[in-house]
């Protein structure tokens, strides 16, 4: 009876550890791994049995701070932490940034538990807050420009139109140039003014698949007529809590950005639209007392040349663009709208595989529509 209870308790503890989303390793005094949970198997891309044959030092780069933290935890007999540590070895395959937590195991001398927490979600949240701050800066600038620039420009354009009626054909091209340039500047200021709308959005249940179908038709009738657009949707996805017109603007901007990245001369240009249900991401948003779940994932992927690595971190900042004639406001507006919806937008880019990923909250039945 006692043995059965012990076995049941062990199985329950093992299930509990395997349910944790963070990689967890127990390490013996000689450095060998005693045990690992399922998240650790996924992180190191090795089975539990294979991990037990390895020393922790074999999984990490030479001189990794993780090893020093393990020794500190043993020496102090207390837990130690370090944040934003880059770890990457041929066994992991890619470099990852993690927070590390090491604690001694009670009643087992010199054995420690190592927990790794990937920075991905925390960094998403940091970037989203940065995007919102940048949008507020552009809002103030747009308000100033609307008053200080748009009014004088209308006067300049009017004067140029009057001149056009009283000059010869050879000079008329100059007045047309003045009108065209004033129109271009007014359009730029108008785009910036989109940032200055700080009113809470009116939310309702929105079928994003219908939004994507609408945007796809617009794209194929115009800027993406030369491209193949592929759709891979989860048909069971619930509605998003959002504003349909603003979501149309988000995905129209993303698909147009993808089409421009591929270029007009591409022979095999392709844009892939996907949707999926991905539970696990939660974010505390302005106006909400508790973190909001963001399980709805929508991706726009293209096979263009990719985004330069040094621009990835700033891609959603205002006035940052990879295009010679771009304003750098399209993706910044995407980030603002997604942020206003309580969501996250991010970009992963490799040659011939650039993915813009939008994570949004789903509509909660019974909650009043509105803000």
Largest CA distance in the chain: 107
Q: In which residue are the tokens 């209308």 written?
A: 154
Out of 121-125, 252-256, 358-362, least confident range: 121-125
C-alpha–C-alpha distance, residues 222 and 216, integer Å? 10
pLDDT tens digits for range 329-349: 778 888 888 888 888 888 888
**Contact, 88 vs 96, CB < 8 A?**
yes
Considering only the top CATH level, what class is 204-360?
Answer: alpha beta
**Contact, 306 vs 351, CB < 8 A?**
yes
C-alpha–C-alpha distance, residues 222 and 234, integer Å? 27
From the centroid of its chain, how far is CA 337? Answer: 13
Percent of the chain beyond pLDDT 70?
Answer: 72
Considering only the top CATH level, what class is 2-118?
Answer: alpha beta
The reported pLDDT for the residue numbered 170 is 76
pLDDT tens digits for range 219-229: 998 889 999 99
Average pLDDT of the residues in 153-163: 82
**Contact, 239 vs 209, CB < 8 A?**
no
Does the pLDDT value for residue 118 go beyond 80? no
Considering the chain, tell me which residue range(s) the CATH 3.30.450.20 domain(s) occupy.
2-118
Does the pLDDT value for residue 371 go beyond 60? no
CA-nearest of 225, 322, 216 to 264 is 225
CATH number of 123-196: 1.10.287
Name the more confident of 278 and 227.
227
Q: How many residues does the chain have?
A: 371
C-alpha–C-alpha distance, residues 223 and 233, integer Å? 23
Q: In which residue are the tokens 């115009």 written?
A: 222
**Contact, 331 vs 348, CB < 8 A?**
no
Instruction: Give backbone dihedrals phi and psi of 117, rounded to 5 degrees, phi first.
Output: -125, 110
C-alpha–C-alpha distance, residues 32 and 207, integer Å? 51
Does the pLDDT value for residue 216 go beyond 90? yes
Q: How far apart are the first and last CA of the chain?
A: 57
Q: In which residue are the tokens 């304003």 written?
A: 327
C-alpha–C-alpha distance, residues 183 and 82, integer Å? 54
Q: Which residues pair with 99 in a beta bridge?
A: 117
Considering the chain, tell me which residue range(s) the CATH 1.10.287 domain(s) occupy.
123-196
SS3 of residue 115 by DSSP: strand
Average pLDDT of the residues in 254-282: 87
Out of 239-243, 300-304, 310-314, least confident range: 310-314
From the centroid of its chain, how far is CA 140? Answer: 25
């Amino acid at each position: 009876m006692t043995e059965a209870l012990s076995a049941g308790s062990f199985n329950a503890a093992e299930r509990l550890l395997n349910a944790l989303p963070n990689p967890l390793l127990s390490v013996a005094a000689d450095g060998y791994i005693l045990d690992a949970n399922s998240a650790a198997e996924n992180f190191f891309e090795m089975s539990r049995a294979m991990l037990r044959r390895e020393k922790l030092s074999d999984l990490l780069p030479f001189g990794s701070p993780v090893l020093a933290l393990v020794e500190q935890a043993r020496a102090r007999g207390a837990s130690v932490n370090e944040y934003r540590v880059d770890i990457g070895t041929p066994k992991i395959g890619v470099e990852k940034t993690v927070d590390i937590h090491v604690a001694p195991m009670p009643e087992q001398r010199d054995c420690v538990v190592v927990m790794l927490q990937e920075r991905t979600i925390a960094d998403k949240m940091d970037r989203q807050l940065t995007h919102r701050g940048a949008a507020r800066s552009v809002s103030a600038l747009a308000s100033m420009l609307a008053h200080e620039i748009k009014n004088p420009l209308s006067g300049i354009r009017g004067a140029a139109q009057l001149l056009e009626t009283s000059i010869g054909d050879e000079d008329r091209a100059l007045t047309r140039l003045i009108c065209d340039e004033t129109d271009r500047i007014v359009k730029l200021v108008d785009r910036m003014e989109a940032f200055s709308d700080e009113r809470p959005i009116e939310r309702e249940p929105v079928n994003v698949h219908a939004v994507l179908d609408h945007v796809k038709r617009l794209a194929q009738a115009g800027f993406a007529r030369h491209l193949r657009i592929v759709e891979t949707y989860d048909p069971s996805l619930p509605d998003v809590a959002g504003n349909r017109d603003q979501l149309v603007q988000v995905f129209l901007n993303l698909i147009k950005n993808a089409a421009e990245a591929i270029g007009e001369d591409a022979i095999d240009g392709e844009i892939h639209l996907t949707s999926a249900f991905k539970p696990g991401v939660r974010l505390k948003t302005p106006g909400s007392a508790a973190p909001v779940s963001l399980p709805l994932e929508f991706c726009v992927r293209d096979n263009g040349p990719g985004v330069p690595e040094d621009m990835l971190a700033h891609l959603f900042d205002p006035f940052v663009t990879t295009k010679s004639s771009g304003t750098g406001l399209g993706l910044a507006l995407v980030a603002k709208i997604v942020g206003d919806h309580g969501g996250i937008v991010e970009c992963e880019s490799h040659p011939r595989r650039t993915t813009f990923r939008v994570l949004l909250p789903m509509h909660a039945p019974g909650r009043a529509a509105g803000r």
